[in-house]
């Protein structure tokens, strides 16, 4: 603030103080003047006394009225304060309750977040396991395809070599093993595999008798047989066993006749039901 502004403020305050002094002195002078001029006038004194008494009464009444109003206002203020206090207590309780609910909700949300995080971890683990399983399945598919190619190659070489290379001991072993499978084949899938194998033996036998396009026909017949086994499903090991044994038996007339008679006798009903379906696949 500038020095000039400060000086103006000081002068203004001094002027106000001087005016107050002048007013007080003027009132005192007037009072002294009235007193010295009229103190000997008894009538004037009585009038002043009467005026003072009336003024006192009026002021007393005003004081009483103001006191009553003040008391009422005090009571009203007290009631308002009590109401405000009660409201504050209620608000405090509601606030406390809301905070508790909010904390409970936060705890629930935190728990849900933890559960969701655990589920995400489980999903990631499952995703990893699925990827591993897909890799393993790819590896198994490649191994199965490799074994099928080896089996196809082996059976092709067996067909090319039409001479019977099995001795009586080998024949008995194959027959005994195949009879065991026939004995314990209980479900419909195994029966379908056995019936399909009957047609496989007959088809291979017909291919062996024909010199023209032998390998090509065998490959087609092998693909159809393998596709039908895949459609049936069931025990892969049992399918491959019948496939290999049937291929060997197809080149051995005595064993083929012996096994076919037993298989056809035991599974005649199944053969009749599947005959059209299988013949369409092999002859299509």
> For 87-129, how does the pLDDT look when each residue is reduced to its tens digit (9 = 90+)?
888 887 888 788 777 777 777 777 888 888 888 888 888 888 8
- The answer to the question of residue 128 being in a domain is no
- The answer to the question of residue 266 being in a domain is yes
Instruction: Find the domain containing 52 and state its range.
Output: 3-82
Asked whether 255 and 175 are in contact (CB, 8 A), the reply is: yes
Asked whether 166 and 244 are in contact (CB, 8 A), the reply is: no
- Residue from 117, 276, 279, 267 nearest 203 by CA: 279
pLDDT digits (tens, 9 = 90+) for 190-227: 666 666 666 666 666 565 555 555 555 556 666 666 66
Mean pLDDT of all residues in 51-68:
86
Q: State the CB neighbour count (10 A cutoff) for residue 93.
A: 10
Question: What pLDDT score was predicted for residue 234?
Answer: 55
3-state secondary structure string, 19-79? HHHHHHHHHHHHHHHHHHHHCCCHHHHHHHHHHHHHHHHHHHHHHHHHHHHHHHHHHHHHH
Mean pLDDT of all residues in 171-187:
60
For the chain, the domain total comes to: 2
Between residues 190 and 167, which one has the greater pLDDT? 190
Domain boundary among 58, 82, 106: 82
Asked whether 281 and 275 are in contact (CB, 8 A), the reply is: no
pLDDT digits (tens, 9 = 90+) for 231-258: 666 555 555 555 555 555 555 544 455 5
Question: What pLDDT score was predicted for residue 18?
Answer: 85
Task: Give the side-chain half-sphere CA count within 13 A for 177.
Answer: 13
Tell if the pTM clears 0.85, that is, is over it. no
């Amino acid at each position: 603030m500038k020095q000039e502004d400060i000086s103006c403020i000081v002068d203004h305050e001094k002027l106000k103080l001087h005016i107050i002094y002048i007013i007080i002195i003027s009132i005192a002078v007037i009072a002294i003047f009235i007193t010295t001029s009229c103190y000997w006038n008894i009538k004037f004194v009585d009038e002043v006394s009467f005026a003072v008494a009336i003024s006192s009464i009026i002021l007393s009444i005003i004081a009483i009225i103001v006191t009553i109003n003040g008391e009422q206002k005090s009571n009203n203020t007290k009631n308002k304060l009590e109401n405000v206090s009660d409201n504050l207590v209620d608000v405090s309780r509601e606030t406390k309750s809301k905070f508790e609910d909010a904390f409970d909700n936060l705890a629930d949300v935190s728990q849900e977040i933890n559960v969701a995080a655990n589920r995400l971890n489980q999903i990631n683990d499952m995703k990893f396991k699925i990827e591993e399983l897909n890799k393993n399945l790819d590896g198994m598919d490649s191994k199965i395809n490799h074994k099928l190619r080896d089996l196809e190659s082996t059976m092709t070489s067996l067909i090319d070599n039409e001479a019977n290379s099995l001795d009586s001991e080998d024949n008995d072993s194959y027959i005994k093993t195949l009879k065991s499978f026939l004995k314990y084949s209980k479900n419909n899938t195994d029966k379908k595999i056995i019936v399909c194998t009957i047609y496989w033996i007959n088809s291979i036998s017909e291919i062996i008798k024909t010199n023209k396009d032998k390998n090509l026909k065998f490959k087609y017949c092998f693909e159809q047989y393998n596709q039908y086994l895949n459609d049936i499903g069931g025990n892969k090991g049992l399918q491959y066993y019948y496939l290999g044994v049937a291929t060997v038996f197809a080149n051995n007339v005595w064993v083929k006749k012996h096994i076919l008679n037993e298989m056809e006798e035991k599974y005649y009903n199944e053969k009749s039901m599947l005959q059209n379906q299988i013949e369409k696949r092999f002859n299509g």
